[in-house]
Structure 1
Amino acid sequence: MDKNSNVTTQKTEDTVKKGIAYKWTALFNVALASLMGTVNGSIILISLPAIFTGIQINPMAPDAFQYLLWILMGYGLVTATLLLSIGRLADIYGRVKLFRLGFLIFTIGSILLYLTPGTGNKGALELIIFRLIQAVGGAFTMANGAAIITDVFPTSERGKALGINMVAIMSGQFIGLLLGGILATYNWRYVFLVNVPFALLGTVLSYRNMKEISFRAPKTSIDVLGNLLFIGGLTSLLVGVTYGLMPYEHNGITDAMGWSSPLVMSTLGIGIVALAVFPFAESKAKNPMFRVEFFKIRAFAYANLANFTAAIARGGIMFMLILLLQGIWLPLHGYRFEDTPLWAGIYMLPMTLGFIIMGPLSGILSDKYGPRWIATSGMVIVTLVFIGLALLPYNFDYWQLGILIFFMGIGNGMFSSPNSSSIMNSVPAEDRGVASGMMSTLINSASTLSMAIFFTIVIVGIQGALPGAIHESFANLGSGPIVQNLADQLASLPPTNALFSAFLGYNPMGSTLEAMDPNVVSAIPQSVVDTLKSTYWFPQTLQQAFMPALRASFVLGAILSAIAALLSAMRGERYVHETHVSTEKT
């Protein structure tokens, strides 16, 4: 392995000397794929109201919540399960070859989404299936991006290059929010059509300009058992997590979540057992897809553990901040419910700016001084920001939130680039594909798990407190059997519907009144109807139930970030595999 590493290092150095510009060509293509992927993710967040309207799905219908979760989480589920296998195949057959294929598959998925023919439940299922196809393409580019950058950039510039790629990732999130807000006002299909030029450009450029310079691992037999255990186990686990967030009906009773469902318990059990057996099977496999021995490398092990913990902390919190803005703060400040998705994206801009500033800068500094203390300091900052968020009142002044999320962007920017560079530098050159796949798999799995954890905290909190908050708010609206009956009906509103409506920019009170018998609604005093349909009654009521649960999620985020900081500090000083091997040889 030492000999292969030296050969690969010399091969990369010779390529760079022959064509200095190629490393920037490769970085441009990888950054374009990163930009495309994050635009695709955030544009969906902001455009869901228009998409559901376009395919004629009532967001307050009982089965609508499952479509929301699958559209949001299905993409991450597919990428998480495929990244590891793709990374290993890329080491054998070529990273650029599979990277190009990813662009092509993503293009096909985007076109299919634009052409979605069905409406109603059929249309929703078609959207989910086409998003899964898109996710396969995204997995091919995601699994190979960091490895390609590491191949073409020398050790002294890898942090900077990975930092520039991180800027593309964060810029894509903001661009997607703006494009989604603008395009959705014209036609929901444009939300998917806008991906096509990015994907076509990436496909053409990657086939035309990118070349395979990486040292390939020897062709070996496919680790069938490892693939079955990992893909089957992780899929089963994430499916269980997804359905655990959905309402569960049994014996005439509807639970707010499905954690007690036999389907959920069985899929979770199968997933946990399969993933528990997986590392033991890999340790015995002749050609394992998951390189367990990499975790003997201190820099690799602790950087990945820190990455996994940090991803759990930040993944679901993004949704929590959007819920806070869309469901409470923006309506209370006079924004129409239907306008809140776009403005929530705009008000999240300070986080993006912080990341864009610190992402490349921290990469440059880590190239010079090493990643350990820069990455660790970043997670300490994130920990302090979570504590600050937990102390915010529900009707805060925006500058307070703006400063906090700006420093959250700074902290995550300080952590991400050096940490990724640390992971990729620590492995042999011929194994960078599987290392990149392992890193991305842990991040994507953690993000999906994060959504489940934080949604569960909030749903449980709302389930217990929202009925009482509604009755308390109704006490100020008047008395009488009609008003009391209306209060009882609204108090029975499932907490998932309340969150769903806030996330999509709907006032659930208006939807609930429209679904009621017109004769009953006509008997309600007009002043009560006007109050319920206002921009302040529902947010003011929701915050009573939502804020305690939200603060608990922020506290959990602080704890996880502190653990990530500790793990980051434990990685030791800078470790570069090529340098280590060279030193050993001499």
Structure 2
Amino acid sequence: MSTNAAGTGRKGLVLAAMIFAVAMTFIDQTIVSIAAPKIQTELHLSGTGVQWAINSYLLAMAAFFAFGGRLSDTFGHRRMVVIGVIVFAGASALCGLTPTGSLAQTWIIFFRAVQGLGGALMYPAALAIVVNTYELRERGRALALFFGIAGGLTAVGPILGGYLTEWTWRGIFWVNIPVALVALLLIAVSKPVTRFQAAPIDYRGLVLIVCGVALSVFGFQQSSVWGWHNPAIGLSIAAGAVLLVLFYRYERRQDSPLMNVAIFSDRAFLMQCVVLGLAMTVFLPMFFFASEYAALSLGQTTQQAGLTLLYFFLGFMVTAQIGGRMLDRVGAKRPVVVGSVIATVGYYLWASKMTSLDLNKETWYIVMAGAGMGLMVGPANTDAVNRASSLSYGEATGITMTVRNYASSLSVAILGTVLVSVFQSQIASTLVSQGVPAATASKLAATATHNGGSGQGGTGTGSGTIPQWVRLDFAHGAQTVFYIMAGMMALAAVVALFGLPGGVQADSTASTPAEEAATAA
């Protein structure tokens, strides 16, 4: 069966169906960040609780993406997309129904994690369907459209979240339900056809990766609350790291692993995963920290903060199309390297202007940062997935998305700690300069950073009642975070320059006798 199984006439419809399916996952990566302050206030969540409401989603996707990829290659891509859409929409409805009271924090964190599980089941299968539908020479443009539109929907999150939050923050979850219904309708009409091959599921590997990811992120996440002096922090991070190493060693010995780690022997695939991991320490965390900066330092409302982030995607959506065409024409290396360099410069200059507290001085650098990310993310992801056989696109997508979401989740935790530390230090120094005793200044600073405006919730209502010096102190914390982001993108550029092969990738996905015998779904 040809990999172009959907037929030329249905390609566009299949692509539209998959874009609608994954649209929910992209929107929810950012929409909760913009509404977090209001959720925290109405549900009386702790600062750590609201950050977990954001991170539990990314954490669940990171932990279960490999599982979702394996399931899609085993039971059928279309089937897993449908299941994932239903799970995601159901969890979204329950997030919107979060009760007030003592149960609220546990409820919303749990069902945000279930949303992440739904996304992990859905996304690898959806991308595998798109890859199977288009020939290798067409995929760059098709996936540029996929990532450009789906990624552009990430921009809808802050904007839509700002408007819906003015009505009710619960609407940010309920908006997923009509999107899910459209996706299911398009899937039913387009009937995408892909190949899959039954294989046993590695549940031991699943336990190892879920526990390893969860413990390592938990340690960094809680470090700003418990303090690095607490032995539980180091133990949690160390245990998570050990479990992830054990997972890798265990998977190498399995005949039917959850994650085929042998694919990392392909140097280009490994380097693209490193590049994607570095890029994702920047891409998704940027929305959270930029939203906090916009609210606390610039005094913007949730609507205004959402519109500010639209500048980022003006750059992103344009260059995503350019990157896809470059991938088809000259290969992945050039757009990945050039995009990483542009993003480095954009984030660095954006950071340099943050303490001016003047959005007009930052706008073009926000656009530049977005343009750089748009140019490199799609080609890096597509080039990595293209290196898998046609029967393991779901698995390859699961691997790349595990890397992406684990990096994002870890970055939110680590950069959140950095932001809190710098903000607290700045406040203490400012108070001392105003004549407050050092010991008292330290206590006041600790209280201020852990009760809103800490990068873990904030006020989100504008900073009109916040003193100018506090706004500036928070800007210094955000500036440090964005300088680190610039450094991560510079490292991505170096890895891509020296680690990626040049030229257009050869088509290595020709059907083998075993693949021709695979069942069509």
1:287 is paired with a residue whose SS is coil
In structure 1, the residue matched to 2:133 is 152
1:400-439 counterparts in 2 under 5 A? 400-439=361-400
In structure 1, the residue matched to 2:69 is 87
In structure 1, the residue matched to 2:490 is 562
In structure 2, the residue matched to 1:255 is none
In structure 1, the residue matched to 2:33 is 45
Q: Does 1:459 align with 2:420?
A: yes
Q: Which amino acid aligns with 1:463?
A: Q
Q: Does 1:388 align with 2:349?
A: yes
In structure 1, the residue matched to 2:459 is 505
TM-score by length of 2: 0.90
Distance 1:474 1:541, change over 3 A: farther
Distance 1:108 1:179, change over 3 A: same
Distance 1:567 1:506, change over 3 A: closer
1:348 is paired with a residue whose SS is helix
Q: Distance in 2 between matches of 1:196 and 1:233?
A: 32
Distance 1:491 1:241, change over 3 A: closer
Q: Does 1:96 align with 2:84?
A: no
In structure 2, the residue matched to 1:12 is 3
Q: Which amino acid aligns with 2:2?
A: K
- C-alpha offsets along residues 294-314 of structure 1, whole Å, 9 cap, x if unaligned? 122222111111111111133
Does the CA contact (< 8 Å) of 2:428 and 2:445 recur in 1?
A: yes
The alignment's C-alpha RMSD in Å is 2.7
Aligned-pair CA distance for 1:415: 0.1
Does the CA contact (< 8 Å) of 2:312 and 2:370 recur in 1?
A: yes
2:169 is paired with a residue whose SS is coil
Q: Does 1:130 align with 2:111?
A: yes
Does the CA contact (< 8 Å) of 2:64 and 2:210 recur in 1?
A: yes
Please point out which of 479, 489, 511 is paired with 1:551. 479
Q: Which amino acid aligns with 1:172?
A: L
Aligned-pair CA distance for 1:71: 0.7
Aligned-pair CA distance for 1:380: 0.7
Aligned-pair CA distance for 1:266: 2.6
In structure 1, the residue matched to 2:223 is 244
Does the CA contact (< 8 Å) of 1:428 and 1:578 recur in 2?
A: no
Q: Which amino acid aligns with 1:11?
A: S
1:157 is paired with a residue whose SS is helix
Q: Distance in 1 between matches of 2:472 and 2:134?
A: 49
1:321-360 counterparts in 2 under 5 A? 321-328=290-297, 330-331=298-299, 339=301, 341-360=302-321
Aligned-pair CA distance for 1:128: 1.7
Please point out which of 173, 176, 184 is paired with 1:195. 176
Does the CA contact (< 8 Å) of 2:390 and 2:509 recur in 1?
A: no
Structure 1, unaligned stretches of length 5 or more?
A: 1-9, 249-257, 476-480, 509-533
Aligned-pair CA distance for 1:550: 3.4
Q: Does 1:308 align with 2:277?
A: yes
Please point out which of 203, 207, 230 is paired with 1:261. 230
Aligned-pair CA distance for 1:548: 4.2
Q: Which amino acid aligns with 1:27?
A: L
Q: Which amino acid aligns with 1:108?
A: G
Q: Does 1:168 align with 2:157?
A: no
Segment drifting more, 98-107 vs 284-293:
284-293
Aligned-pair CA distance for 1:580: 7.6
- C-alpha offsets along residues 3-38 of structure 1, whole Å, 9 cap, x if unaligned? xxxxxxx5224x35xx31322122112211232222
- C-alpha offsets along residues 404-446 of structure 1, whole Å, 9 cap, x if unaligned? 0101111111101111121121111111111000010000000
TM-score by length of 1: 0.81
Aligned-pair CA distance for 1:377: 0.3
Q: Distance in 2 between matches of 1:485 and 1:234?
A: 38
2:447 is paired with a residue whose SS is coil
Q: Distance in 1 between matches of 2:42 and 2:357?
A: 35
- C-alpha offsets along residues 513-570 of structure 1, whole Å, 9 cap, x if unaligned? xxxxxxxxxxxxxxxxxxxxx82652423423x3444333333222221221122222
Q: Which amino acid aligns with 2:178?
A: P
Distance 1:492 1:383, change over 3 A: closer
Q: Distance in 2 between matches of 1:80 and 1:386?
A: 25
Does the CA contact (< 8 Å) of 1:150 and 1:158 recur in 2?
A: yes
Aligned-pair CA distance for 1:42: 2.4
Q: Distance in 2 between matches of 1:237 and 1:490?
A: 30
In structure 1, the residue matched to 2:519 is none
Structure 2, unaligned stretches of length 5 or more?
A: 512-521
In structure 2, the residue matched to 1:107 is 89
Q: Distance in 2 between matches of 1:418 and 1:507?
A: 38
Segment drifting more, 171-180 vs 439-448:
171-180
- C-alpha offsets along residues 353-407 of structure 1, whole Å, 9 cap, x if unaligned? 1111111221022112211111110001111122212322512543331100101
